Amino acid sequence: MPTLRLRYQTIEFGELDIHLRMLRDNQQFSDPDGVAERLGISSAAWPLFGIVWASSEVLAHLMFEFEIAGKRILEVGCGIGLASLVLNHRLADITATDHHPAAADFLRRNVALNDGDDIPFVRTGWADEDSSLGRFDLIIGSDLLYERAHVALLAAFIQRHARSHCEVVLVDPGRGHHAQFSKRMIALGYSHSQSRPSEHDYQGAPFKGQVLRYAR
């Protein structure tokens, strides 16, 4: 089994530096015990968790200034966990989740790189009805709606883990499923708004997606 090739990157948020250990590129793969395969994660999809995508950068920059006082926060599909690491630096009450079996180890190592407190992590899929996560005041995520089937699964997962008064912030790169997702969230009692993020120096190219916000 080939050794994973890694890279290290520092991403700046004002005066804050977040250091990341991540996959070198999206050609990496390592599933010696077949855990990912049993979870339905193909070799092509395997490396996607371990890269910083434009949507995750947008979400992390939003969380750098977001009002977090007194909120229990959940990052859904955290991948490399950039937004969680930013929130952890801000001493937020943050819990991270992902379906990928390698996400927990990468998050733990990145927390250590940034001298942070441990971030609670739960490996769970959106169809898992008993994840022991509990409920949250703020639920966040980036690039989650990449298949039509994920619309219903994600909405139901959020519903199970949202407190009666809850905010949801998702960054969607424009895969075409967010309109159906918004309809489902409105049916669950949420108000909805969406906007394009302001352009910033950290964006190498204009971000063509949307920031989706829901509240009830």
Return the amino acid letter for 147: E
Q: Does residue 45 lie in a domain region?
A: yes
Domain of residue 191: give its range: 6-215
Q: Closest by alpha carbon to 72, among 133, 136, 121, 117?
A: 136
Q: pLDDT-derived band of residue 201, with 50, 70 and 90 as boundaries?
A: low
Residues ≥6 apart with Cβ < 8 Å to 137 = 70, 71, 72, 73, 163, 165, 166, 167
What value, to the nearest 5°, has the Cα angle with vertex 99 and ends 159 and 11? 100
pTM for the full predicted model: 0.96
CATH of the domain at 24: 3.40.50.150
Would 1 be classed as within a structural domain?
no
Asked if residue 126 belongs to a domain, the reply is yes
pLDDT tens-digit map of 28-80:
999 999 999 999 999 999 999 999 999 999 999 999 999 999 999 999 999 99
Confidence of residue 144 (pLDDT cuts 50, 70, 90): very high
Query: 149 in a domain, yes or no?
Result: yes
Q: Give the chain's domain count.
A: 1
Q: Which of 139, 97, 136, 134 is nearest to 119 (CA)?
A: 97
| pLDDT tens track for 84-130 | 999 999 999 999 999 999 999 999 999 999 999 999 999 999 998 87
In a domain, 24, yes or no: yes
Residue 92 three-state SS: coil
CB 134 within 8 A of CB 160: no
**Quick one: pLDDT at residue 129?**
81
At residue 1, does pLDDT exceed 60? Answer: no
The closest of 178, 171, 181 to 143, measured between CA atoms, is 171
User: Residue 135 falls within a domain, yes or no?
Assistant: yes
β-bridge mates for residue 194, sequence order: 212
| Dihedral-angle region of residue 162 (phi above 0 means left; psi in -120 to 50 means alpha; beta otherwise) | beta
Closest CA to 99 of 38, 19, 58: 38
As a whole number of Å, the end-to-end CA separation of the chain is: 48
122-131 pLDDT, tens digit per residue, is 999 999 887 7
